[in-house]
C-alpha cells in the first residue's frame, strides 16, 4: 500500500529525515517509535502534505501513485488520514458541517453520491459511540474549547467516519490518560481489516499495549535503525532510547 | 395648521444646516477624521434628486415578518412598497399607540421639535450638515412599551441619484424595539444617511444597519445614539457594499448604568473602500460598552477601523472593551486599524486591542487534510471569521439574510474568481 524509499525531507532548510525506508501492506499495523527530534512528526507531516515541509530526495508511493505529487486534500480523498499531534481549533466552523463537507468530498472523489443530512447524522451517531464523545460536541466549532483528550478523541472520531485506507497517528497517545488511550486504541482496532493499514507514531510504548502492532520500527536521527515485531516495543521501553542510539 | 408648524421646524433647522455646510464644505483627507477617505469622486458628480419613487420591485423585503416596513427609493418614501399599517396596539393610557411608525414629512411637530437634529451634530460634521440640509424624508419611529418583532427600513438607490435619508428612532422609558435598516441599489448613486436613536430610561434598542449598496455606489452614513439611564443598546453595522463607504457610529452614554454593544463587520473586495468610525462617549458612571469590529479585505480593497472610546471625568466605574480584528486575504488588500482610548478618570476597567492577520495556515491545512479543497477551506474560514458578527443578530430572518449575503459575497465567489474547480 505504502512504500517509502530513501526519503530525505525537512523543514526550514533543515534536513530531518535522512534516508528513510518503510513498506506497509494493507492489513498491517506498524508502529514507529523514536526519541524526540528523531523525525517522527516530520514523517507524519510529509505524508499528509503539510505546507513548508520539503522533500529533497526519495519517493513515497501510495497505491501505485506518487503521493508526494498530490496536494493535501487529494491525499485525503485517496484515503490517507493523519490524526494530528496538535489538532487546531477552528471557531466558527461547525464540527458536523466540517465533517460532512469532508465526508462528501471523499464520496464525490470516488464518484459516489453525497449523503444527505439525515443519513450522515445516522453514520455520525454510530461512530460517536466508539469514541464516547457527547453529541453536543458536534454543534460546536471544530475542536473549539475541547480539552486535549477530547481533541484526540475527535481525531479518532473523524478517522472512524472518514474510514481511511491508511491512517497515520502522530503521537495521538501523548498526554492521554488510560481511559482516553483505551478509546483511541479501540478506534484504531475498529479500523483494522485486511483493507486498512495503520501507522502509529509514538514516543511511548503505552498505547501499544492496547493496540498490538504487527511491526515496530525505531526511528533515530532521521532513519529507521531497527525493525522487529511487537516485542521490540517492550525492549525499547526497558532499555530506553540510549540503547538504540548505541546500536545505531 | 399642524403641517405648517412641522414645515417650520424642519425648515428652520434645514436652513441652519445648509449654512453650516456652506462654511464647512465637503470633508477632505486634510481633516484627521477623513484622512483615509476622499469623497472627491462624490463631489464631482451632478447628482439628480428624486421627487417620486421610480422603481417597482425593491428586491428585498421582510414585509410578512416585520411589524412594519418602510421603503424609500432615492430618498423618497414609497407608500406603495411600504407596509406601515401593522404593529399598532393601544397603550395603557389608550390615547397614544404604543408604537408609532411614520415618515419625517408626517411626523408631529412636537416630536420633531423635541428630537430632530438634537443628537447628530451638524455644527461640526459636514456630512451630517449636508444630510440635515437636504433631508427629504425618512422614518420616524416612536415606541412607548416593549414590542417584540422588528421594523424594517429599506433604502433603495438607483443610478444617478443622491439621497439623504433621515431617520429618527425614539424609544421611550422601559420600551423595547428592534429596527433594521437595509441599503441596497443599482448603478452609481450617492446615499448620505443619518439615523438618530434615543434610548430613554431603561429602554432596550436593537439597531442593525446593513450597508449592501451597489458596488458602484457611494455611501456615507451616521448613526447617532443617545442613551439615557439604564438603557441598553445594541448597534450592529454590516458594511459590504459600495465603492466608497464611510460609516460613523457615535454613541453618548448620558445616563448611569447604560450598556452598549457595538458590533461591526466590513468585508470588501476589488477596490472597495470601507471606512468605519465609532465614537463611544462615556459621560456618566457605571456604564458599559463592548465593541467588536471585524474586517475582511480581499484583492485591492481597503478597510479602516477608527474607534474612539472616551471616558469622561465623571464616568467612574466604566467598563469598556473594544476589539478590532482584521483578515487580509491578499497582498494588495490594506487595513488601517486605529483604536483610541481617552480616559479622564482612574476608576475604570478599559481595554482595547486590534489584530491584523491572514488566514490561519494550521486551520487551512487541517481542513485540507480532511479532503476539503483549498478554495472551499478558504471560504469556510473566511465565513467563520465573519459570521461571528452575523450569528449574534437576534432577528432570525435578518440573520439568515445576512448569512446568505455573506456566504454569497465571500466563499462562493472566491473559487469562481480564482478559476478554481471546487
pLDDT at B54: 67
| A-contacting residues in B 380-409 (Cβ below 8 Å) | 380-381, 383-385, 387-388
- Yes or no: say if A171 and A179 are a contact pair by the CB < 8 Å rule: no
Q: Which three cell numbers stand for residue B368?
A: 485540507
Q: Does the structure show a pLDDT above 70 at B122?
A: yes
pLDDT in tens, B198-239: 999 999 999 999 999 999 999 999 999 999 999 999 999 999
Q: What are the tens digits of pLDDT across the range B310-353?
A: 999 999 999 999 999 999 999 999 999 999 999 999 899 999 99
- State the ipTM, two decimals: 0.95
Q: Do residues B127 and B222 make contact, with C-beta atoms less than 8 angstroms apart?
A: yes
pLDDT for A163 beyond 60:
yes
Indicate the SS3 state at residue A171.
Answer: coil
Beta carbons of A101 and B387 less than 8 Å apart: no
Q: Taking 80 as the threshold, does the pLDDT of residue B140 lie above it?
A: yes
Q: Mean pLDDT over residues B83-108, rounded?
A: 69
Question: pLDDT tens across A189-232, in order?
Answer: 988 899 999 999 998 888 888 889 999 999 999 999 999 998 88
**Domain extent listing, chain A:** 2-247
Instruction: For residues B399-406, give the mean pLDDT.
Output: 83
Query: Smallest CA–CA separation between A111 and chain B, in Å?
Result: 14
Q: Which residues in chain A have their CB less than 8 angstroms from residue B361's CB?
A: 51
Interchain CB distance below 8 Å, A105 and B372: yes
In the predicted model, is pLDDT for residue B91 greater than 90? no
Q: Which of A50-54, B104-108, B162-166, B298-302 comes out lowest in average pLDDT?
A: B104-108
Per residue, what are the HEC states of B81-120?
EEECCCCCCECCCCCCECEEEEEHHHCCHHHHHHHCCCCC
| Cα torsion through B253, B254, B256, B262, rounded to 10 | -10
Strand partners, A170: A201
* Pick among B365, B370, B412 to test the A interface (most A CBs inside 10 A): B370
Residue partners of A116: CB distance under 8 A and separation at least 6 = none
Please report, for residues A124, B109, B269, B294, the alpha-carbon distance to residue B371 in angstroms, rounded to integers and kept in the order given. Answer: 17, 64, 27, 29
Residue A247: pLDDT band with limits 50, 70, 90: low
Q: What is the pLDDT of residue B385?
A: 92
DSSP string, B318-341: EEEEEEEEEEE-STT-EEEEEEEE
Is the CATH code 3.40.50.300 the one for domain A2-247? yes
**CA-wise closest residue to A185 among A35, A176, A146, A36:** A176
Question: Looking at residue B353, what is its pLDDT?
Answer: 92
User: Which residues from chain B sit within 8 angstroms of residue A88, using beta carbons?
Assistant: 360, 362-363, 366
The b-or-e profile of A49-64 (16+ CB within 10 A means b, else e) is bbeebeeeebebebee
pTM of the model: 0.86
Chain A residues lying within 8 Å of B388, measured CB to CB: 91-92
Average pLDDT over residues B48-77: 84
| Beta strand extents in chain A (DSSP E only) | 2-11, 14-24, 29-33, 53-62, 65-66, 80-83, 90-94, 141-142, 166-170, 197-202, 215-220, 223-228
Largest CA distance in chain A: 57
Report the SS3 class of residue A46. helix
Could you say which DSSP state residue B146 is in? B
Between B77 and B60, the more confident residue is: B77
pLDDT above 50: residue B411: no
Amino acid at each position: 500500500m505504502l512504500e517509502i524509499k530513501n526519503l530525505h525531507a525537512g523543514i526550514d532548510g533543515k534536513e530531518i529525515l535522512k534516508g528513510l525506508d518503510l513498506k506497509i501492506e494493507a492489513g498491517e499495523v506498524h508502529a514507529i517509535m523514536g526519541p524526540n527530534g528523531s523525525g517522527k512528526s516530520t514523517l507524519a507531516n510529509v505524508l499528509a502534505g503539510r505546507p513548508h515541509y520539503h522533500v529533497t530526495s526519495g519517493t513515497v508511493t501510495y497505491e501505485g501513485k506518487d503521493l508526494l505529487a498530490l496536494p493535501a486534500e487529494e491525499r485525503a480523498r485517496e484515503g490517507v488520514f493523519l490524526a494530528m499531534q496538535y489538532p487546531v481549533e477552528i471557531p466558527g466552523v461547525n464540527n458536523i458541517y466540517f465533517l460532512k463537507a469532508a465526508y462528501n468530498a471523499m464520496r464525490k472523489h470516488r464518484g459516489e453520491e453525497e449523503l444527505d443530512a439525515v443519513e450522515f447524522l445516522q453514520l455520525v451517531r454510530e461512530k460517536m459511540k466508539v469514541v464516547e464523545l457527547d453529541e453536543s460536541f458536534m454543534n460546536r466549532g471544530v475542536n473549539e474549547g475541547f480539552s486535549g483528550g477530547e481533541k484526540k478523541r475527535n481525531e479518532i472520531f473523524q478517522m472512524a467516519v472518514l474510514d481511511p485506507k491508511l491512517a497515520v497517528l502522530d503521537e495521538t497517545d501523548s498526554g492521554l490518560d488510560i481511559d482516553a488511550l483505551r478509546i483511541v486504541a479501540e478506534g484504531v482496532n475498529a479500523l483494522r481489516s485486511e483493507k486498512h493499514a495503520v501507522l502509529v507514531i509514538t514516543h511511548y510504548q503505552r498505547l501499544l499495549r492496547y493496540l498490538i502492532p504487527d511491526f515496530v520500527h525505531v526511528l533515530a536521527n532521521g532513519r529507521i535503525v531497527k525493525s522487529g515485531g511487537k516485542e521490540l516495543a517492550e525492549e525499547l521501553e526497558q532499555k530506553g532510547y540510549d540503547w538504540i542510539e548505541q546500536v545505531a | 395648521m399642524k403641517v405648517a408648524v412641522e414645515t417650520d421646524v424642519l425648515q428652520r433647522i434645514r436652513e441652519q444646516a445648509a449654512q453650516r455646510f456652506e462654511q464647512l464644505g465637503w470633508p477632505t483627507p486634510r481633516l484627521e477624521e477623513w484622512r483615509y477617505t476622499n469623497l472627491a469622486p462624490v463631489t464631482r458628480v451632478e447628482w439628480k434628486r428624486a421627487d417620486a419613487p421610480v422603481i417597482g420591485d425593491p428586491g428585498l423585503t421582510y414585509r410578512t415578518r416585520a411589524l412594519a416596513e418602510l421603503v424609500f427609493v432615492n430618498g423618497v418614501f414609497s407608500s406603495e412598497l411600504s407596509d406601515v399599517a401593522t404593529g399598532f396596539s393601544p397603550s395603557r393610557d389608550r390615547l397614544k399607540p404604543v408604537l408609532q411608525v411614520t415618515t419625517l414629512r408626517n411626523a408631529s411637530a412636537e416630536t420633531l421639535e423635541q428630537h430632530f437634529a438634537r443628537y447628530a451634530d451638524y455644527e461640526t460634521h459636514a456630512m451630517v450638515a449636508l444630510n440635515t440640509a437636504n433631508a427629504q424624508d425618512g422614518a420616524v419611529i416612536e415606541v412607548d412599551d416593549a414590542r417584540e418583532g422588528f421594523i424594517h427600513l429599506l433604502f433603495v438607490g438607483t443610478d444617478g441619484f443622491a439621497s439623504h435619508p433621515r431617520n429618527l428612532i425614539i424609544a421611550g422609558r422601559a420600551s423595547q424595539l428592534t429596527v433594521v435598516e437595509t441599503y441596497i441599489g443599482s448603478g452609481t448613486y450617492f446615499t448620505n444617511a443619518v439615523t438618530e436613536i434615543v434610548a430613554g430610561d431603561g429602554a432596550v434598542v436593537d439597531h442593525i444597519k446593513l450597508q449592501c449598496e451597489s458596488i458602484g455606489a457611494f455611501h456615507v452614513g451616521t448613526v447617532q445614539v443617545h442613551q439615557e439611564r439604564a438603557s441598553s443598546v445594541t448597534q450592529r453595522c454590516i458594511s459590504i457594499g459600495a465603492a466608497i463607504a464611510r460609516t460613523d457610529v457615535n454613541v453618548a452614554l448620558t445616563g448611569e448604568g447604560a450598556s452598549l454593544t457595538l458590533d461591526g463587520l466590513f468585508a470588501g473586495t476589488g477596490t472597495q473602500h470601507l471606512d468605519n468610525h465609532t465614537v463611544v462617549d462615556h459621560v456618566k458612571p457605571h456604564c458599559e460598552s463592548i465593541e467588536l469590529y471585524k474586517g475582511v479585505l480581499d484583492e485591492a480593497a481597503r478597510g479602516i477601523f477608527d474607534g474612539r472610546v472616551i471616558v469622561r471625568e465623571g464616568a467612574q466605574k466604566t467598563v469598556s472593551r473594544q476589539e478590532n480584528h482584521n483578515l487580509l486575504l491578499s497582498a494588495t488588500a490594506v487595513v488601517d486599524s486605529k483604536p483610541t482610548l481617552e480616559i479622564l478618570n482612574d476608576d475604570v476597567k478599559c481595554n482595547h486591542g486590534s489584530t491584523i492577520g491572514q488566514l490561519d495556515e494550521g486551520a487551512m491545512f487541517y481542513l485540507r487534510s480532511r479532503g476539503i479543497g483549498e478554495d472551499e477551506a478558504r471560504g469556510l474560514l473566511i465565513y467563520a471569521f465573519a459570521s461571528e458578527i452575523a450569528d449574534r443578530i437576534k432577528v432570525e430572518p435578518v440573520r439568515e439574510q445576512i448569512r446568505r449575503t455573506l456566504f454569497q459575497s465571500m466563499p462562493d465567489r472566491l473559487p469562481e474568481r480564482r478559476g478554481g474547480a471546487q
